[in-house]
Amino acid sequence: MAVEYRCCEASFFIHIGIIVLLVLFAGLMSGLTLGLMSLSLVDLEVLAKSGTPQDRKHAAKILPVVKKQHLLLCTLLICNAASMEALPIFLDSLVTAWGAILISVTLILLFGEIIPQSVCSRYGLAIGAAVAPVVRVLVWICFPVAYPISKLLDLLLGDGHEALFRRAELKTLVTLHGNEAGKGGELTHDETTIIAGALELSEKKVRDAMTPLSKTFAIDINAKLDRKLMQEILDKGHSRVPVYYEEKTNIIGLILVKNLLSIHPDDEIPVKNVTIRKIPRVPGDMPLYDILNEFQKGHSHMAVVIKQSNLIQQTSNNVDGVDLRLDIDSQKTNEGSMKTTNPIRRWKSYPDSQNTYRSSSRGKKWSRDAEASVLQIHDAPLPKLNEDEEAIGIITMEDVIEELLQEEIYDETDVQEDQ
């Protein structure tokens, strides 16, 4: 009688232990389903590369496990379902049928769903990294059943779940991370403004940042550098001044103000006798990123914006050691003037024979022949453009940087004028 009682008591405690293990196992599977599946591969890659040292370790352990998300999901759900289905079997031997149902529902709901998912939703990364070896073993155990189901899900739903943000969503996300949003973000106002400006730059065109020709200071190539003109150039405070021929809409080049330091105003030297540099011509619908890439090459930090819009630019396909120059087809008219038939017909790649590409600690720079960018007008007639190729504005690197910063850049002359 005592032996039978002891056997029943031992069987009772064994059943209780199994029930506790089943509830804990079901809770773990339920919590991991929420904790691991809520972490996208993009989130884990970001944490693995730029998170805190602890988050990097956890993300590195979890990444191999969640790489096949459908296989992991099937494994966790199969294990969770098996433990919940086995629980009433062991409870039925201890209590009545209705008691087994009531207790199993209560245990599963409280300790198998609510508490585990609440904990794993907050500490899913740490818990997932701790039980990653156990999950690997479960994947192999459930592989014969979970693998066919996961492959079917891959075929029906696709195997890519990388939740990359769109440009507008990323801009909003950056704004929410600013300290001005009041959500604990670390980004300052200037940082969020610059990031937002960089994201918007691809949507803006040259016409959005250019200075209209009516507000542009330019000088006639036939003018003389007398005291009045020199003083006017000095008062404007620009480092580069566009040069036009006959009409202001026909801008043919630019002069660097620093090159005028050696000229005496009393000599009244004609503008065409000083060094006039070539100036690129770009359409108004050219993306700002493309013009910024051209400015970075150092050929010119100023460009003329023309009316023509049906032009093709391919400025982003340049490679190291190749210089992109403007391919201009020109022909002489009967009057002896040079007429440009298509001033920016295409961007064409030429082997870099004169330009040498080199890198330094501060980035990539061009070392080129200075004479290649000088406008030769002594022995050649001046160009006269068609009506649809006339200038409508000027754009400089400073204009593009202002669009990037989304703020005006004031130099010393601007400050003096404002005062």
CATH code of 381's domain: 3.10.580.10
**Residue 162 resides in a domain:** no
N residues, the chain: 419
**Residue 401 resides in a domain:** yes
Residues 184 and 211 in one domain: no
Residues 192 and 224 in one domain: no
Q: Which residues of the chain, if any, have pLDDT below 50?
A: 309-370, 416-419
**Residue 345 resides in a domain:** yes
Residues 17 and 152 in one domain: yes
- From the CA atom positions of the chain, what is the Rg in Å? 36
What pairing do the DSSP bridges indicate for beta strands 219-220 and 240-245?
parallel
32, 120 contact by CB (below 8 A): yes
Query: Which of 100, 130, 157 marks a domain boundary?
Result: 157
Which residue bears the tokens 């389903």? 33
Residues 87 and 172 in one domain: no
Residue 281 region by backbone torsions, left for phi larger than 0, else alpha for psi between -120 and 50, else beta: beta
Q: Which domain holds residue 267?
A: 204-418
Residues 287 and 217 in one domain: yes
What does the alpha-carbon distance between residue 255 and residue 243 come to, in Å, rounded to a whole number? 7
Residues 121 and 232 in one domain: no
DSSP state, residue 302: E
**Residue 223 resides in a domain:** yes
Q: Packing angle between helix 69-92 and helix 2-37, nearest 10 degrees?
A: 160
- What is the reported pLDDT for 412? 63
Residues 314 and 342 in one domain: yes
Q: Domains in the chain: how many in total? A: 3
Nearest C-alpha neighbor of 71 from the set 35, 37, 96: 37
What does the alpha-carbon distance between residue 217 and residue 27 come to, in Å, rounded to a whole number? 74
Q: Which amino acid is at 213?
A: L
Residues 100 and 48 in one domain: yes
- What is the reported pLDDT for 144? 92
**Residue 9 resides in a domain:** yes
**Residue 191 resides in a domain:** yes
Which residues 6+ apart lie within 8 Å of 81 measured at CB? Answer: none
**Residue 10 resides in a domain:** yes
**Residue 28 resides in a domain:** yes
- What is the reported pLDDT for 4? 54
- What is the reported pLDDT for 317? 37
Residues 116 and 186 in one domain: no
And the tokens for 330? Answer: 């020109």
Residues 186 and 226 in one domain: no
Which residue bears the tokens 């592989």? 143
413, 308 contact by CB (below 8 A): no
Task: Give me the numbers of helices (H) and strands (E) for the chain, helices first please.
Answer: 15, 14
- What is the reported pLDDT for 113? 84
Query: Which of 198, 218, 247 marks a domain boundary?
Result: 198
Nearest C-alpha neighbor of 249 from the set 305, 328, 316, 299: 305
What does the alpha-carbon distance between residue 301 and residue 292 come to, in Å, rounded to a whole number? 9
110, 27 contact by CB (below 8 A): no
pTM over 0.85: no
Residues 150 and 172 in one domain: no
Residues 17 and 36 in one domain: yes
- What is the reported pLDDT for 196? 86
Percent of the chain that is helix, strand, coil (3-state, to 5)? 55, 20, 25
